Amino acid sequence: MFVHDKTGRLYSPVTTKSRNYLTISMSEPSSYSMDQAYTEIIVVRHGETAWNANGRIQGHMDVELNEVGRQQAALLADRLSLEPEISAIYSSDLKRALETAETIAERCGKFEVIKDPDLRERHLGDVQGLLFREAAKVCPEAYSAFSSRRTDQVIPGGGESLDQLYYRATSSLQRIGQKHTGERVVVVTHGGVIRALYRRACSNRFRGNILNTSVNIFHLSGNDVWTIKAWGDISHLNPPGHAMSGLGGNKTSG
């Protein structure tokens, strides 16, 4: 097993961790037979949008991929097409995730993408649509709630708390895991959701960045144990033997 830095270059040891970044990456496609005792779920974040690039808060706002995001999705699809025996592809029903999932599905065998609204990003209330750099001034109360570390803090304007997001996201992945025991599936979702899934597997909040089209692999066992087998892999955006693509994944979640 190898890891990569923010440029996608592979190296060892197995893990690397800092205040803003942690990755465990796949050195080659999985070749082993699936163990019937668990489900392997390849959880990926959608490709980049114009709002990601501009630093605008998305939440439930239905923003499409930009051209960089479409290129990222195509490279991700090429990577996942090497994974054997993918049984199903699930996605948030928001356009940025769904288009990413449909690109993967086309490359991996023309799957029909299963849409699940519970895989949507966190509803961010009154800060949705605002630029990060302006939100504190435009909606101070909502921005304060959005920035709060309290997991039960809801956001004015219909926004969810982190606890509400956690329950919604982890329940969705648990249902998928139970339905596909002994299989490998792909889930396309959002940065906030992936943070919630990390919290379920590791019992703490992930403090770093969830990059666009990053690959994160979870094993869900029948005895309700979640294990992270790979985290933050973006090596597909800068494949070995190619010049740096410049598609290294935006650092804002959404």
Mean pLDDT of the chain: 85
The pairing of strands 86-91 and 184-189 is parallel
Q: Residue 61: enclosing H or E segment and its boundaries? A: none
- pLDDT band with cut points at 50, 70 and 90 for residue 111: confident
Least confident of 18-27, 63-72, 133-142, 149-158: 18-27
Q: What percent of the chain has pLDDT over 90?
A: 72
Give the span between the Cα atoms of 188 and 156, in whole angstroms: 27
pLDDT: which is higher, 38 or 243: 38
- pLDDT band with cut points at 50, 70 and 90 for residue 187: very high
Q: Say if residues 215 and 46 touch (Cβ distance below 8 Å).
A: no
47 is in an annotated binding site: yes
Does the pLDDT of residue 154 top 60, yes or no? yes
pLDDT tens digits along 155-171: 999 999 999 999 999 99
Give the span between the Cα atoms of 85 and 71, in whole angstroms: 24
Structural domains of the chain in order of their starting residue, each with its CATH number:
33-123+160-237 (3.40.50.1240)
Q: Can you read off the two tokens belonging to residue 220?
A: 């869900």
Q: How far is CA 80 from CA 14, 29, 202, in A?
A: 21, 8, 25
96 is in an annotated binding site: yes
pLDDT tens digits along 26-65: 434 444 455 678 999 999 999 999 999 999 999 999 999 9
118 Cα distance to chain centroid? 14
- pLDDT band with cut points at 50, 70 and 90 for residue 251: low
Helix (H, G, I), strand (E, B) or coil at 55: coil
- pLDDT band with cut points at 50, 70 and 90 for residue 246: low
Does the pLDDT of residue 7 top 90, yes or no? no
Catalytic residue IDs: 46, 121
Q: Residue 36: enclosing H or E segment and its boundaries? A: none
pLDDT: which is higher, 16 or 218: 218
pLDDT score, position 33:
52
46 is in an annotated binding site: yes
Q: What percent of the chain has pLDDT over 70?
A: 80
102 is in an annotated binding site: no
pLDDT score, position 223:
84
Q: Rounded to 5 degrees, what are φ and ψ at 215?
A: -105, 130
Does the pLDDT of residue 3 top 80, yes or no? no
pLDDT score, position 109:
87
195 is in an annotated binding site: no
Does the pLDDT of residue 136 top 60, yes or no? yes
Does the pLDDT of residue 121 top 90, yes or no? yes
pLDDT score, position 247:
59
Q: Residue 4: enclosing H or E segment and its boundaries? A: strand 3-4
Q: Say if residues 197 and 165 touch (Cβ distance below 8 Å).
A: no
Q: What is the pTM of this model?
A: 0.85
Least confident of 70-79, 102-111, 199-208: 199-208
49 is in an annotated binding site: yes
